[in-house]
């Protein structure tokens, strides 16, 4: 999730552990702890661009790291907060704020390593987008108002909206998955695995994928409660397998790392090939939920096994993609 939402989430989670007269301090401590887990963005390498995506949302987002991460934040805040609360109370605020971060990330379409080091699975419930103003803005307003007025009722209202919207998003995800399965049955597409992810900044449009063992099939789904479900086919592509490259080479190792990161949803996107290099993209993400143009991928020279695969994000949003996104969201496209 974006840093603002993480800060708001952490601040709201800390409020129930604070007395009314200390709600402002708890909100600040929880908010700072709520963004602390993303310090992993500084783990980078100029030679190995995949290092960043491997470590982002990894150990700093694991449940076992929460007591450690929150302790670090509490120690950093203690010289300022010691006049308002005991260290135990400050640590509790920081613990709740820090804990909110990985749990919120797990609800997104990107996911997080909740159970590291015991499992390398990236948990992604696919309930909400990494940015969702309809979710975040009311929470921000309620947190500020609750802390400013020291209002328990406003804090409770913020927590209620937090749970209500996430519950609705979970139901929306289930409905999108059901619509995807119904579409696959209608089109006689076998399902080895399937996933539905919320499109950018909403829980109405969904980007849905089916792997039939031979090809990836893409559809966009509009799923507004109380309205008929709309589906737009986005085409199909052959999967890309990193196993066609020698895993003992630097290039083969990089491709396997990226394949693991993308949960084996890779495909070659020739439109981005240039100067003899291939572009392999992650099909799970795009601006227009029915478009095959990926948000990110890796570029590499297939003839140079000693070279690195370079992670790149060609996220140029075209006017046509923006218009298609809005047309689908607002249901302005004809059948």
CB atoms closer than 10 angstroms to residue 334: 4
Residue pLDDT, tens place only, 278-307: 999 999 999 999 999 999 999 999 999 999
Dmax (CA) for the chain in angstroms is 67
The CA-atom distances, in angstroms, between 328 and each of 186, 209, 316 are 22, 17, 19
Closest CA to 285 of 89, 130, 73: 130
Structure tokens at 34: 């709520």
Instruction: Quote the CA–CA distance of 82 and 90 in Å, as a whole number.
Output: 8
Task: Return contacts of 257-262, CB within 8 angstroms, 24+ apart.
Answer: 257/50, 257/54, 258/50, 258/53, 258/298, 258/309, 258/311, 260/120, 261/50, 261/53, 261/54, 261/122
- Cα–Cα dist 309/330, whole Å: 39
**Partners of residue 218 on adjacent β-strands:** 209, 235
Q: Tally the C-alpha atoms within 13 A of residue 95's C-alpha that lie toward its C-beta.
A: 13
* CB half-sphere exposure, 265, CA atoms < 13 A: 26
**In the chain, which stretches have pLDDT less than 50?**
none
Separation of alpha carbons 72 and 74, rounded Å: 5
Q: Are 157 and 151 in contact (CB under 8 A)?
A: no
Rounded CA separation 190/204 (Å): 25
Q: How far is CA 158 from CA 2, 13, 155, 201, 317, in A?
A: 18, 10, 5, 20, 33
Do 142 and 157 form a contact (C-beta atoms < 8 A)? Answer: yes
What pLDDT sits at residue 335?
A: 59
Domain residue extents for the chain: 3-125, 242-321
Reading the block at residue 58, the tokens are: 């990894």
Phi and psi angles of residue 166, each rounded to the nearest 5 degrees, phi first: -65, -35
């Amino acid at each position: 999730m974006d840093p603002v939402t993480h800060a708001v989430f952490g601040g709201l989670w800390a409020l129930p552990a604070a007395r009314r007269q200390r709600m402002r301090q708890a909100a600040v401590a929880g908010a700072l702890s709520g963004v602390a887990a993303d310090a992993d963005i500084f783990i980078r390498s100029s030679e190995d661009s995949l290092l960043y995506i491997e470590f982002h949302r990894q150990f700093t987002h694991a449940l076992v790291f929460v007591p450690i991460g929150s302790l670090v934040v509490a120690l950093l805040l203690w010289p300022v907060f010691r006049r308002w609360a005991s260290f135990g109370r400050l640590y509790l605020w920081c613990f709740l704020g820090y804990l909110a971060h990985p749990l919120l990330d797990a609800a997104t379409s990107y996911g997080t390593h909740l159970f590291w080091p015991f499992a390398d699975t990236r948990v992604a419930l696919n309930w909400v987008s990494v940015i969702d103003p309809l979710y975040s803005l009311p929470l921000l307003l309620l947190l500020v108002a609750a802390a400013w007025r020291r209002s328990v009722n406003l804090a409770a209202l913020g927590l209620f909206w937090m749970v209500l919207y996430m519950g609705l998003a979970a139901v929306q995800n289930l409905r999108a998955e059901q619509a995807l399965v119904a579409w696959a049955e209608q089109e006689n597409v076998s399902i080895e695995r399937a996933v539905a992810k919320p499109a950018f900044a909403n829980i109405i449009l969904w980007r849905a994928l089916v792997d039939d063992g031979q090809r990836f099939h893409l559809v966009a789904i509009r799923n507004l409660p109380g309205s008929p479900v709309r589906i737009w086919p986005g085409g199909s592509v052959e999967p890309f397998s990193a196993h066609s490259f020698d895993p003992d080479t630097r290039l083969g190792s990089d491709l396997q790392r990226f394949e693991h990161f993308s949960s084996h949803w890779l495909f070659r996107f020739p439109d981005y090939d240039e100067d003899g290099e291939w572009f392999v993209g992650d099909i799970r993400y795009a601006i227009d939920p029915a478009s095959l143009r990926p948000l990110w991928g890796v570029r590499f020279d297939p003839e140079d096994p000693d070279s690195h695969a370079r992670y790149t994000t060609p996220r140029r949003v075209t006017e046509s993609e923006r218009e298609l996104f809005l047309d689908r969201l607002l249901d302005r496209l004809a059948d």
